[in-house]
Structure 1
Amino acid sequence: MEQLPTSPGERPGEPNASQGSAYTATATISEQGIVTEWSEDARRLLGYLPSEVVGLSAAQLLAEGATDAARRIAPGQERWSGTVALKHRDGRRLELGLLAHRWTSTGGNTKWFVVSAVAGGRPAPRDEPLDEWAFAQSPCFMAVFDEDLRLVRANAGMERTLSLSEAEVRGLRLPEIAPDPVSDETERRMRVVLETGEPQHLDAFVRPTGAGTEHGWSTSLAPLRDPDGRVRAVCLAAHDRTGIEVERQQLLVSNVTGARIGTTMDIARTAQELADAAVPRLADFACIDLMDPPPRGDETSSGPVVGPVTVRRTAARSVLEGSPESGVAVGETVVYPPLSPPVECLAAGRGAAYGTADPPVARWVIDDPGATWVSESGTHSLMMVPLRTGDVTLGLAVYGRHQRREPFHPEDLWQAEELTTRAAVSIQNARRFTREHTTTMTLQRSLLPQSLPPQTALEIASRYLPAGTEAGVGGDWFDVIPLSGARVALVVGDVVGHGIRAAATMGRLRTAVRTLADVDLPPDELLTHLDDLIIHLAADEADREAAGGIGTTCLYVVYDPVTRRCTVGRAGHPPPAVVSPEGSVYLLDVPAGPPLGLGGLPFETVEVELPEGSILALYTDGLLQIRDHDIDDALDGMFAALSRPATTLDTVCDRVLTAMLTHPPEDDVALLVARTQALHADRVVVWDLSSDPSVVADARRYATEQLTVWGLEEASFVTELLVSELVTNAIRYGQPPVQLRLIHEDSTLICEVSDASSTAPHMRRARIFDEGGRGLLLVAQLAQRWGTRHASVGKTIWAEQSLVGF
Structure 2
Amino acid sequence: MDETGQAPQGRVPLAVVVVDQAGSVSHWSTGARRLFGPAREDAVGRPAADLLPVSGALPQDEGAYGLYDGTGQDLVESLGGRTCYPSAGRARLDTSAGPRDRIDVLWWAYPLVGPGPERLLVLAADARQLSGEGERTAPGFALYTDFPAADELARELPGILPSMSVRESARIVAQVLELGYPVLEFSHHDRVPVTADWGVARRAERKARRAEAARAAAAGVPGPRAPLDDLADDRDDLEYAAVRERLEFLNEVSGRIGSSLDLSRTIVEVSRAVVPRFTDVAGTYLREQVVAGEGFPDGPPDATTMWHRVALEHTDEPGRWDDVVPVGESMPFPVHTPFFQCMTTGEPVLVPYISEEMGGAIAAQFEKRDIRPLITHRSMLVVPLKARNVVLGFMILLRHQERPVFNDMDRVTGAELAARAGLVLDNARMYTYQESVAETLQDSMLPHIEPHLPGCDVATRYLPGTLLGRVGGDWFDSVKLPGARTAFVVGDVMGHGLNSAAMMGQLRTAVQTMAALDLPPVQLLRGLDDLAQRLGEHYLATCLYAVYDPIAGELHLANAGHIPPVIVRAADGRSELLDLPTGAPIGVGGVPFESLTIRVEPGDRLVMCTDGLVEVRGEDIGVGLATLCESAAHPAASMDDACDTIIRSLAGRGGRKDDVALLMVRMSGIESGDVAQWELTPEPSQVPHARALVRQQLEQWGLLAVAYAAEVMVSELVTNAVRHAGGDRVRLRLVRSGTLLCEVEDAEHALPALRGAGADDEFGRGLRVVAHLAREWGTSRTATGKTVWFELTTGRARI
TM-score, normalising length: structure 1: 0.48
TM-score, normalising length: structure 2: 0.49
